[in-house]
Chain A
Amino acid sequence: MENTMQSSSPNKFLKFLKDNFLVMIIGFILALYVVIMIFCLIWGFRVSFTPVDPDFSNNPFAFGSRFTLDNWIDTFTKFCILVNNRNVYFEELILNSLIYSIGCTLVHTTVVMLVAYLVAKYPCWLSSVLYTTVIITMIIPVVGSLASEMAVVRGMGLYDNLLGVFFMKCHFLGMYFLIFYGVFKSLSWGYAEAAFIDGAGHFQVMVRIMFPLVINTYLAVAILFFIQYWNEYTTAMLYLPSYPTIAYALVRLRTASGSGLNEVPQFFAACMMSCLPILILFVSFQKQLMGDLKVGGLKG
């Protein structure tokens, strides 16, 4: 009996190892990833509170450096980029980022949801065409249409025009269409039919019955879009030269001097400050963001 117990313990341990080997490997890689990522962020944050030192490279860990808010204050007072012969300061950059990101997010998310709703709930030839179009544009890539798009934007007078850019973002193509489509497909049309019998119109059914049912998906997609637009700098660079955003300014600052913040700690302060709005958003809506986004296959 004792012998049997002694031999079963190593066997159990071996079986445990065999069953969980994969998870242990994944866990190890993830632990490494998490440690490196947290270290990078803490280091970046710490450097932003380090006094400006011409010999920064001698003490990059900032050991023994005093803690200072000077770099963060300098971001407000000195950080600027030259646009159309005038300096655009931090506050205006943030304002431009907010207008651009909120506008594009609202327009883009709403359009994707609207079209997905029509395609899922109003079957007709155009709905089939729209669905197939989304799938085809995801499968068949178009490379290098940027030059042509620029020519069209200039030709239509939409260049350097916020409303023009919002119109450009009124598109329904891409993976988020499939997410909304999947959600609408899974919703029963029974609610709508009951409302139609009670005299509701199509618009009322859409706004007052169907959309509240997908509000969590809308919020999650909207937050993802907001983050994407907040961080993106190419649109501001190419199409909105008079409305520089904070992301665009940071890219310019990285590669050019004369911005008022030329030292590493100062630049890190500007970087960290630009992250604050989205970090606040992320913390506030973490539950919706980390929720139930699902995307299926590409059946055309």
Chain B
Amino acid sequence: MAKAKRWDNGKILFYFGVVAIPLLQFLIFYVGVNFNTILLAFQELDEGKFVFTAGFRNFEVFFHNFFVGEMRYAFQNSLIVWAVGIVSGTVLTILFSYYIFKKYFAYNFVRIILFLPSIIPGVVTVQIYDSMLRYLVRDMLGGIYLLDSTLGDTQLLGVIVYTVFMGFGSNVLLYSGAMGNVSTDILEASQIDGAGNARQLFSIVLPSIYPTITTFLVTSVAHLFTNQANLYTFFAEQAQPIVRTIGYELFVLVQKGVMSAYPAAATAGLMFTLVAAPLTLLVRYLLEKFGPSED
């Protein structure tokens, strides 16, 4: 085997010249920030500075909040939002993408409408949705306003329905893009052999786009505890504990601008990373082990 040609100075200069700033950004805002998260978990604010006098106190507070306080609701809600997102976000998105891929009636118009919620600001769609529930749907539901803060479970349902309804946009684009790689020859041959749409979808299209599905599923697990579920847009800092998610809890802790809350937020983040990281790897392993092979 021939030895790779050595890089000349011009090539080295070009490569490192281009990569320098992104690399510096990565070292500061990924490596540095995450390392600092670990340090913050053992620190507390003292006269405007973070000092290492907290020991494991932040962890004690975290476990108390989790098992005795209200954080368990947030944990539970994060799982619910994620599970509903997986079922609707994956199943419905794939079905919609298939409709677009097969170019059925008005597919281009449908694609634009599905994408619209992704381009309209979240606060606008939240406002329309909220007003619809408040002024139009309320009467249909016998006077129940789904986002009423006194109705815990119903409020969560209202938020989840919104999240599902508005969440197809770019995923449909990416799935239908992936479906574009499926060989039309194979599809035509299967049609001649009498395969219907369902058969084509499950036996040809799905195995072909399996790597894309895996990517979406794995990244969705990775975002399990960072998903705010648009709660801040709906309720600002006023979301009831019973509808909060972990992503929302952590965001609000920092958003309030109280520096003394940073160590608590960092500790919670660290603990949930310890849960989410192995879970993500496990999901990836299972999807690769039990999914269709590339051959």
Enumerate chain A interface residues (CB-CB to B < 8 A). 18-23, 26-27, 29-30, 33-34, 36-38, 40-41, 43-44, 47, 56-57, 60-61, 111, 114-115, 118, 122, 124, 126, 130, 133, 137-152, 156, 167-168, 170-173, 175, 178, 201-203, 206, 224, 227, 230-231, 233-234, 237-238, 246-247, 250-251, 254-255, 264, 267-268, 271-272, 274-275, 278-279, 282, 286, 289-290, 292-298
Find out whether the CB atom of B92 lies under 8 angstroms from the CB atom of A275.
no
Find out whether the CB atom of A148 lies under 8 angstroms from the CB atom of B266.
yes
With both chains docked as a complex, state the minimum distance between the C-beta of B13 and any C-beta of chain A, in angstroms. Answer: 9
Find out whether the CB atom of B131 lies under 8 angstroms from the CB atom of A118.
no
Known: A33-B113, A271-B127. A147 touches B122 (CB 8 A): no
Main secondary structure of the interface of B (DSSP, over half): helix
In whole angstroms, what is the CA distance A297 to B288 when docked? 10
Answer yes or no: B114 CB below 8 A from chain A CBs. yes
With both chains docked as a complex, state the minimum distance between the C-beta of A29 and any C-beta of chain B, in angstroms. Answer: 7
Task: Find A171's partner among B25, B196, B233 (CB 8 Å cutoff).
Answer: B25
Residue of B nearest to A231 (CB): B121
Size category of the B interface is 35 or more
Known: A143-B225, A149-B33, A297-B215. A254 touches B111 (CB 8 A): no
Task: Find B25's partner among A29, A168, A246, A264 (CB 8 Å cutoff).
Answer: A168
Enumerate chain B interface residues (CB-CB to A < 8 A). 7, 10-11, 14-15, 18-19, 21-22, 25-26, 28-30, 32-34, 36-37, 40, 50, 92, 95-96, 98-99, 102, 104-105, 108-124, 126-129, 131-132, 134-136, 165, 170, 173-174, 177-178, 180-181, 196-198, 201, 210-212, 214-215, 218-219, 221-226, 232-233, 235-236, 238, 246, 250-251, 253-255, 259, 261-263, 265-266, 268-270, 272-273, 276-277, 280-281, 284
Find out whether the CB atom of A147 lies under 8 angstroms from the CB atom of B261.
yes
Known: A148-B262, A149-B29. A33 touches B174 (CB 8 A): no
With both chains docked as a complex, state the minimum distance between the C-beta of B41 and any C-beta of chain A, in angstroms. Answer: 9
Known: A26-B96, A141-B225. A290 touches B115 (CB 8 A): yes
In whole angstroms, what is the CA distance A19 to B196 when docked? 4
